[in-house]
């Protein structure tokens, strides 16, 4: 083991790209040590996968923001690429650091890799310590009365709500070291997408980095939090926080969010239940981590193994029409185009598009999860897998497979004003609300007047709703017969 009080610490940033309320940085501050901030671009990340394209876009901006915050404090963010164990080994000798601190990850094979790195450092006589930097509580913190982790969300939420208290925030360092230590230029990593660069719309929507995260939280608390419970399902409204990519990249800690919301509740926010409803979503994120921590294969494999025998179709053409937002179901197409244009999609619409893929199109949820992984700026190994498996019916506490969302009525109910479809499917913008979510039901004159030619300017439905629903239910019956 290293010495009790390190004098010089490498803080290895991962999905915790911030200075405020960062337990690993705080431990280094407490030891009064010199801090060498490091980021390592590893070949694979969560679940042994490569970073998705949209995540790379975000990472590029977020690292630049962190680099600038560190340089304002007199230091340098040392960026290196490659095998983390080797990079850290080299950096220990180049900096003379006697400790390495980092935030924990909860996916495999990353946890094993981190354990190996810890051991290798300790064998060299270097103190190596990991901290919780990205969750409210560790995935093993809450146990059911009969022992074991929570497999159902509601009791987990009740347990967290009644007992969790966010610890006091920890202080950001005032100074950093690192000047004079070699590192790559972030620009040389070419994280910004090319061939094609589909990220042009991202800049209009996002400000990656710690400041952007704080601004998002503030603007959410100044307005939408009050009506969150009512508006959170409405993609035609700005009813949610948009914090997911900031939370995923760790630009704000969930404890900071929790404290800020609790602050409003404690000061007598009238719409208290709305604020609690928002906190429950923050806890859905935690729950996803509980699930993946205890089921490391959940990122790629069915949580419920009975789905291993599901007879998914294999159909590249249908998959591509779904990916491109050309299914002929306006709410689905709007969602898929929003995803492509902004790197984000509203939660309600994520459920609708996932239901269409896994039920009407009978394609394996992993195909949708892969697409989301590549195109979402908040692509997260735990929440993405949990969201897909929840919708497909194969997850823990999942929506049953036979619950097939009707993309027409979902659109009518949640995009009541039609603003969402009109924004992302402008070719439908002149259709009256009555027909907006089912253009094929509009009469010839209505379509003509709206300038729509079905099959040409906008597709006909990829599969008729009742037919798609029936095919899904039949597949479900066949699966049940195999048990
Ligand atoms: P808000 O409504 O403002 O919620 C606040 C925060 O709570 C979010 O930022 C997010 O961190 C968390 N949260 C909200 N809903 C959920 C949820 N259902 N599960 C887990 N955490 C939640 N979320 C991701 O962060 N990354 C993903 O890769 C991801 N993939 C998904 C895939 C599918 C098929 C589905 C149905 C959901 C997925 N979600 C994912 C969850 C959810 O859609 C997003 O977190 C949410 O839309 C983000 O928008 P927001 O920040 O405005 O959310």
Radius of gyration of the chain (CA): 24
Structurally, at CATH architecture level, domain 8-133 sits in 3-Layer(aba) Sandwich (3.40)
Best substitution site from 134, 156, 261, 281 to test ligand 1's pocket, by max atoms within 8 Å of Cβ?
281
The pLDDT score that the predictor gives to residue 147 is 93
Distance 248 CA to ligand 1 centre (A): 10
Strand intervals (E) in 340-420? none
Ligand 1, atom 50: nearest CA belongs to which residue?
242
CA distance readout (Å), 259 to 154, 165, 178, 266, 422: 21, 9, 32, 10, 37
Q: Is 284 designated active site?
A: yes
Q: Where in the chain is the domain with CATH 1.25.40.80?
A: 135-169+206-294
Ligand 1, atom 15: nearest CA belongs to which residue?
281
Distance 163 CA to ligand 1 centre (A): 23
Report the C-alpha gap between 7 and 200 in whole angstroms.
Answer: 45
Q: Where in the chain is the domain with CATH 3.40.50.620?
A: 8-133
Q: Which atom of ligand 1 is nearest to the CA of 380?
A: 28
Q: Residues forming the annotated binding site?
A: 228, 240-244, 278, 378-380
The string of DSSP codes covering 13-44 is ESS---STT-HHHHHHHHTT-EEEEEEEE-S-
Q: Which helix (H) or strand (E) holds 480?
A: helix 465-481
> Catalytic residue among 206, 365, 390, 424, which?
365
Which of 249, 157, 258 minimizes the C-alpha distance to 217? 258
Q: Is 312 designated active site?
A: yes
Q: Is 424 designated active site?
A: no
> Catalytic residue among 347, 427, 440, 476, which?
347
Which of 29, 15, 12, 285 minimizes the C-alpha distance to 169? 29
The pLDDT score that the predictor gives to residue 1 is 44
User: Do residues 50 and 43 lie in contact, with contact meaning Cβ atoms separated by under 8 Å?
Assistant: yes
Ligand 1, atom 37: nearest CA belongs to which residue?
387
Give 164-173 pLDDT, tens digit per residue: 999 999 989 9
Ligand 1, atom 21: nearest CA belongs to which residue?
285
- For 308, which DSSP code? G
Distance 32 CA to ligand 1 centre (A): 38
Ligand 1, atom 3: nearest CA belongs to which residue?
241
Distance 372 CA to ligand 1 centre (A): 12
The pLDDT score that the predictor gives to residue 372 is 98
Q: Is 15 designated active site?
A: no
The pLDDT score that the predictor gives to residue 2 is 43
> Catalytic residue among 12, 58, 258, 388, which?
388
> Which residue in this structure is represented by tokens 């990353």?
110
Token digits for 61? 């901006």
Token digits for 447? 């379509």
Q: Where in the chain is the domain with CATH 1.10.579.10?
A: 305-479
Distance 348 CA to ligand 1 centre (A): 10
Report the C-alpha gap between 126 and 52 in whole angstroms.
Answer: 33
Distance 244 CA to ligand 1 centre (A): 6
Q: Is 365 designated active site?
A: yes
Q: Give buried/exposed letters for 29-51 (b at 16+ CB in 10 A, else e).
A: bebebbbbbbbbbbeebbbebeb
Q: Residues forming the annotated binding site for FAD?
A: 228, 240-244, 278, 378-380
Ligand 1 lining (C-beta closer than 6 Å): 232, 240-244, 247-248, 281-282, 284-285, 288, 347, 350-351, 354, 372, 376, 378-380, 383-384, 387-388, 391
CA 71 to chain centre: 28
- CATH code for the part of the protein at 305-479: 1.10.579.10
Give 24-73 pLDDT, tens digit per residue: 999 999 999 999 999 999 999 988 899 999 999 999 999 999 999 999 99
The string of DSSP codes covering 182-211 is ----GGGG--S--SS---TTHHHH---SHH
The pLDDT score that the predictor gives to residue 481 is 86
Low-confidence ranges of the chain (pLDDT < 70): 1-3
CATH class of the domain comprising 135-169+206-294: mainly alpha
> Catalytic residue among 94, 229, 281, 427, which?
281
Distance 350 CA to ligand 1 centre (A): 9
């Amino acid at each position: 083991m290293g010495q009790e009080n390190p004098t010089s610490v490498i803080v290895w940033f991962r999905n915790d790209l911030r200075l405020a309320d960062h337990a690993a940085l705080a431990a280094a501050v407490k030891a009064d040590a010199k801090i060498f901030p490091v980021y390592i671009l590893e070949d694979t990340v969560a679940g042994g996968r490569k970073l998705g394209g949209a995540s790379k876009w975000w990472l590029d901006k977020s690292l630049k923001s962190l680099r600038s915050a560190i340089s304002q404090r007199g230091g340098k963010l040392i960026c290196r690429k490659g095998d983390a164990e080797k990079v850290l080994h080299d950096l220990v000798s180049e900096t003379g650091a006697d400790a390495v601190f980092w935030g924990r990850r909860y996916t495999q094979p990353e946890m094993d890799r981190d354990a190996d790195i810890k051991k290798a450092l300790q064998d060299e006589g270097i103190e190596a310590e990991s901290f919780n930097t990205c969750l409210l509580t560790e995935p093993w913190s809450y146990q059911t009365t009969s022992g074991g982790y929570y497999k159902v969300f509601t009791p987990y939420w009740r347990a967290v709500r009644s007992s969790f208290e966010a610890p006091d925030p920890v202080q950001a360092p005032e100074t950093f070291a690192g000047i004079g230590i070699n590192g790559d230029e972030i620009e040389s990593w070419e994280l910004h997408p090319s061939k094609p660069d589909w990220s042009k719309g991202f800049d209009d929507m996002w400000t990656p980095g710690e400041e952007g995260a704080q601004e998002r939280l503030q603007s959410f608390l100044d307005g939408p939090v009050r009506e969150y419970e009512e508006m959170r399902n409405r993609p035609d409204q700005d009813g949610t926080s948009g914090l997911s990519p900031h939370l995923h990249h760790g630009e704000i800690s969930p404890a900071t969010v929790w404290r800020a919301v609790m602050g409003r509740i404690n000061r007598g926010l009238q719409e208290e239940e709305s604020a609690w409803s928002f906190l429950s979503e923050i806890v859905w994120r935690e729950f996803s981590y509980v699930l993946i921590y205890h089921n490391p294969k959940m990122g790629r494999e069915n949580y419920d193994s009975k789905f291993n025998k599901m007879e998914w179709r294999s159909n590249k053409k249908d998959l591509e029409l779904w990916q491109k937002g050309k299914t002929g179901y306006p709410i689905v197409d709007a969602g898929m185009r929003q995803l492509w244009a902004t790197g984000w999609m509203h939660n309600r619409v994520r459920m609708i598009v996932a239901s269409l893929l896994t039920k009407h199109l009978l394609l394996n949820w992993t195909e949708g999860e892969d697409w989301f992984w590549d195109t979402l700026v908040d692509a997260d190994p735990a929440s993405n897998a949990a969201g897909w498996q929840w919708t497909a019916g194969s997850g823990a506490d999942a929506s049953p497979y036979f619950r097939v969302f009707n993309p027409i009525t979902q659109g009518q109910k949640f995009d009541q004003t039609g603003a969402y479809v009109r924004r992302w499917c402008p070719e439908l913008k002149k259709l009256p609300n009555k027909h907006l979510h089912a253009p094929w039901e509009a009469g010839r004159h209505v379509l003509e007047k709206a300038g729509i030619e079905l099959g040409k300017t906008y597709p006909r439905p990829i599969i008729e709703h009742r037919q798609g629903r029936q095919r899904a239910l039949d597949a479900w019956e066949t699966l049940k017969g195999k048990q």
